[in-house]
Chain A
Amino acid sequence: MLGMNLDPRSKLVIVFCITTLAVVYNTPRALFLLLAGTIGLLLLFRIDIKRVGGYLKPYMLLLLILFLAQCIFTPGGEVLLAAGSLRLVGSRGLLLGTSVVLRLLIVIAAAILLTTSNSRDFISGLVQWKVPYEIAFMVSVTIRFLPLFRDEFVNAVTAVQLRGVELKKVSWGKKMALFRQLFFPLVYGAILKAQQLSIAMEARGFRAYPQRTYLRQLRLNWADYGLILSCPVITLLLIGLSIVGG
Chain B
Amino acid sequence: MAFLELRQIDFSYPGGRPAVLSGVNLALNREGISAIIGPNGCGKTTLTKIMLGILRPTSGEVLLEGRSVQEYTLAQIGRRIGYVFQNPEQQLFSSTVAEEIGFGLSYRSEDPAVIRERVEFLLDYFELSPYRQVFPLHLSYGEKQRLAIAAVLANEPEFLILDEPTVGLDACRKELLAAHLHKVARLGRGMVLVSHDTAFVNRMANRVIALEKGRVQRDSGLEGNVGHES
Given A182-B93, A188-B137, does the pair A164, B155 have CB atoms closer than 8 Å? Answer: yes
With A163-B155, A164-B107 as contacts: A185 and B94 at CB distance below 8 Å:
yes
How far in angstroms is the closest Cβ of chain B from A46?
A: 14
Residue B11 interfacial (CB < 8 Å):
no
**Interface pair A161/B78, CB less than 8 Å apart:** yes
B interface, by DSSP: helix, strand, loop or mixed? helix
Across the interface, B74 reaches (CB within 8 A) one of A158, A181, A182, A186, namely A158
Q: Quick one: which of A158, A168, A181, A188 contacts B135, CB cutoff 8 A? A: A188
How many of chain A's residues touch chain B, expressed as a range? 20 to 34
Q: A189 to chain B: closest CB distance in Å?
A: 5
Q: Tell me, yes or no, whether B103 is within 8 Å of chain A by CB.
A: yes
CB-based A-B contact count at 8 angstroms: 67
Query: 1/0 per position for B55-94, CB-CB distance to A under 8 A?
Result: 0000000000000000001111111000101000111111
Chain B residues lying within 8 Å of A68, measured Cβ to Cβ, are none
| Residues in B neighbouring A192, C-beta threshold 8 A | 137-138
A152 to chain B, nearest CB (A): 8
A167 within 8 A of B: yes
> Which residues does chain A contribute within 8 Å of B92, judged by CB atoms?
159, 185, 189
- Name the distance in Å between A53's Cβ and chain B's nearest Cβ: 14
Minimum distance in angstroms from B46 CB to a CB of chain A: 14
Q: Which residues of B contact A166 (CB under 8 A)?
A: 73, 75-76
21 residue pairs of the A-B complex, CB under 8 angstroms, read A158-B74, A159-B92, A160-B93, A161-B73, A161-B75, A161-B78, A162-B52, A162-B74, A163-B104, A163-B107, A164-B78, A164-B79, A164-B104, A164-B108, A166-B76, A168-B73, A181-B95, A185-B92, A185-B135, A188-B135, A188-B137
Q: What 7 pairs between A and B have smallest CB-CB spacing?
A: A162-B78, A163-B104, A161-B74, A159-B91, A164-B79, A166-B75, A165-B107
